[in-house]
Structure 1
Amino acid sequence: MDKGYEKERFESISIKASVVKKFRRFSRQLSKSQSMTLLLMIEFFEDNGISPTEAMGPKMQTLEKLIKKRINGVIAILKDIEKSQTKPTVAMMETLFKEAEPKKKPLILAKKNVVKQNEIDFKENQKSDNEI
Structure 2
Amino acid sequence: MDSFTAIRFKKDTAQKFKQYSKHIAPTHTQAMAMMLDFFERNHCTPDEDYGPHLIRLERRVLKRIDSLIAIIKNIEKTQTKPTHAMLAALFQAYEPPKQKLMIEKNDPYLNTEVRFREKKYSNDKDEN
With over 3 angstroms needed to count, the CA separation of the structure-2 counterparts of 1:80 and 1:49, relative to structure 1, is same
Equivalenced residues, count = 105
TM-score by length of 2: 0.57
Greater helix fraction, Structure 1 or Structure 2:
1
The SS at the match of 2:73 is: helix
Amino acid at match of 1:76: A
Query: Using CA pairs below 8 Å that are at least 6 residues apart, which structure has the higher relative contact order?
Result: 1
Find the aligned partners of 1:89 and 1:79 in 2 and give their Cα distance: 15
Stretches of structure 2 that go unaligned for 5 or more consecutive residues are 112-128
Find the aligned partners of 1:8 and 1:102 in 2 and give their Cα distance: 82
Q: Greater CA radius of gyration, 1 or 2?
A: 1
Q: What RMSD, in angstroms, separates the aligned Cα atoms of the two structures?
A: 3.4
Find the aligned partners of 2:36 and 2:76 in 1 and give their Cα distance: 49
| C-alpha distance after superposition, 1:3-22 (max 9, x if no partner) | x54x3555x77xxxxx7344
Q: Within 5 A, what are the aligned runs for 1:33-112?
A: 41-105=35-99, 107=101, 110-111=102-103
1:114 aligned onto 2:102: no
- The answer to whether the 8 A contact 1:27-1:37 is kept is no
With over 3 angstroms needed to count, the CA separation of the structure-2 counterparts of 1:21 and 1:40, relative to structure 1, is farther
Partner of 2:10: 20
| C-alpha distance after superposition, 1:81-106 (max 9, x if no partner) | 21222112111112112223234255
TM-score by length of 1: 0.56
| C-alpha distance after superposition, 1:90-130 (max 9, x if no partner) | 111121122232342552xx53x733xx339x8xxxxxxxx
Stretches of structure 1 that go unaligned for 5 or more consecutive residues are 14-18, 123-132
Amino acid at match of 1:77: I
Give me the identity figure in percent. Answer: 34
Cα deviation, residue 74, structure 1: 1.0
Greater strand fraction, Structure 1 or Structure 2:
2
